Amino acid sequence: KTSFGMSVFNLGNAIMGSGILGLAYAMANTGILLFLFLLTAVALLSCYSIHLMLKTSGIVGIRAYEELGYRAFGTPGKMAAGIAITLQNIGAMSSYLYIVKSELPLVIQAFLKADPNSDVWYLNGNYLVVMVSASVILPLALMKQLGEKYVSPILAVFLQVTYKKFQIPCPFEEFSVNGTDAHLSLNICRSLFVYNNSALCLQTAYTIPILAFAFVCHPEVLPIYTELRNPTKKKMQKVSNVSIFVMYSMYFLAALFGYLTFYENVEPELLHTYSRIDPYDTLILCVRVAVLTAVTLTVPIVLFPVRRAIQHMIFPSKSFNWLRHISIALILLMFINMLVIFAPNILGIFGIIGATSAPCLIFIFPAVFYIRIVPREDEPLTSLPKIIALCFTAMGVSFMVMSLSFIFMDWTSGTSRAAGGH
C-alpha cells in the first residue's frame, strides 16, 4: 500500500508526459490570458471526471477503467475503453519517439561539432529513431515483466522547467525591448492577447487538444486508488486534486517561460526551438540528454499496458505465450516508427490524439459510465447530478467534433504549421 504523498507522485507521473512540450505553442496561439482560462477549465473538468469515476467505481466495486465500460455496456463498452486507452498510449509513444527523432541529431551534432547542414546518416533523425527502437526499446519491450518505475519523466521535465524559469534569453533582435514605453506596452499586449485574429480560428484548434492530451491520467486513477493506504473516495479525490494542481502549476510555468522566450516563433516541440539560441550551450545540452533518456526509457513502460490491453481485447482467454508477446511488441514498434518517420510534425500527434481518445477518456466515458451504472432508484435521469453528467458528455462530444473539424480545416488550408517539419 502506498502513502498519500506517493500516490500524489504516482498520479502526477501518470499526468506528466510529452504534452508539456506543446504548451508554449498553444499559448503562442491564444495569448496568456485565454491560455490560462483554458488550462484552468481543463484542469477543473479533469477533477470532475475523476469524481464521476470514483463515485461509479464505489457503487460497483470495480477498480479498472475497462471493467467500468464492461459493467456499463458489456463487451462493446470494454472494447471502446480499451481502444481509447490504446490510442492514447500509442499517441504518447509516438510523441516520445518524435522527440528522439528531433533531439538526438542535435545532441550528436553538439558532441561531434558536426556541420548541421551535412547529410551524414548519424544526423538523420529517421535512422536514429529506428536504431534507438531496435537497440534500446525493443530489448526492454521483449522482457516478460518490466518494473514501471525505471525512470521518472519528472526528472527531465524538472530540469526543463528550471531552465525556462531561471534563464529567459531574448534570442531574436525583434523581441528585444528598446527601452521605450510604447514598445514595452506593445510587447505586453502581444503576450496577453492574440493580436492576429486570422490565426485565432485555425491555429487555436490545437490548443484544447494539446491541453487534453497533457491532462489524461484517468486509466491510472483506479489502480492508484486500489494501492492507496486506507482508501476512501474522499482521500483519492484529494490525491487527484493535489496532483492536478501541481501539474497545472508546472504546465503554466513551462508554457509561460517557453512562450516569453520565443513569442510567436515558438515551435510545436518547445525543446527544438532552443537550438535557435546556441546548439552548444551546456545547460540546453544537459536538458536534451535528460529528456532523451526519460522518453526513451518511458516507451517500453507505456508499451506494456498497451500490449496487455490488446491481448485482453483479442485473446481474452489465452495464457501467456512468448510468440504472441514478441509479435505484438514488434508490430507496435514498427507501426509507431512508421508514424514517427512520416509524421511531418509532433503537432499532428498532439492534435489528433488530443481530439479523439483524450476527450473520450476525460469527458465522455466517465460521464456515460456514471449515467449507466448509478441506479435510477438512487439518482433518476432527471436528477441534477445525472443532468450535469449528461451535459458533460455533450460537451465532450462537441469538443471532439469541433476540434477535429478545425484541425482538418487547418490541414486543408495549406497554411498549417502542422503540415511542415522543423
AA identity, residue 420:
G
| Cα dihedral 371, 375, 379, 381 sign | positive
Whole-number Cα distances in Å, 402 to 209, 355, 399, 406: 10, 9, 5, 6
Average pLDDT, the chain: 82
Number of neighbouring beta carbons within 10 Å of residue 343: 19
Confidence of residue 269 (pLDDT cuts 50, 70, 90): confident
Give residue for cell 489465452: 318
Its pTM surpasses 0.75: yes
Q: What is the pLDDT of residue 163?
A: 46
Confidence of residue 25 (pLDDT cuts 50, 70, 90): confident
Number of neighbouring beta carbons within 10 Å of residue 150: 12
Instruction: Name the least confident of 74-88, 158-172, 243-257.
Output: 158-172
Which tens digit of pLDDT belongs to each residue from 70-85? 999 998 999 999 999 9
Confidence of residue 64 (pLDDT cuts 50, 70, 90): confident
Average pLDDT over residues 263-277: 78
Q: Which residue has the higher pLDDT, 32 or 411?
A: 32
- DSSP letter for each residue of 331-397: HHHHHHHHHHHH-S-HHHHHHHHHHTHHHIIIIIHHHHHHHHHS-TTTS-TTSHHHHHHHHHHHHHH
Query: How far apart are the two ends of the chain, measured CA to CA in Å?
Result: 45
Confidence of residue 147 (pLDDT cuts 50, 70, 90): low
Residue 51 pLDDT > 50: yes
Domains of the chain: 4-346 (1.20.1730.10)
d(CA 401, CA 407): 10
Average pLDDT over residues 46-62: 92
Query: What is the percent of the chain where pLDDT is above 90?
Result: 34
Instruction: Name the least confident of 5-9, 12-16, 131-135, 219-223.
Output: 12-16
DSSP state, residue 175? G
Confidence of residue 247 (pLDDT cuts 50, 70, 90): very high
Q: What is the pLDDT of residue 179?
A: 45
Confidence of residue 201 (pLDDT cuts 50, 70, 90): low
Question: Are 21 and 215 within 8 A, CB to CB?
Answer: no
Residue 394 pLDDT > 90: yes
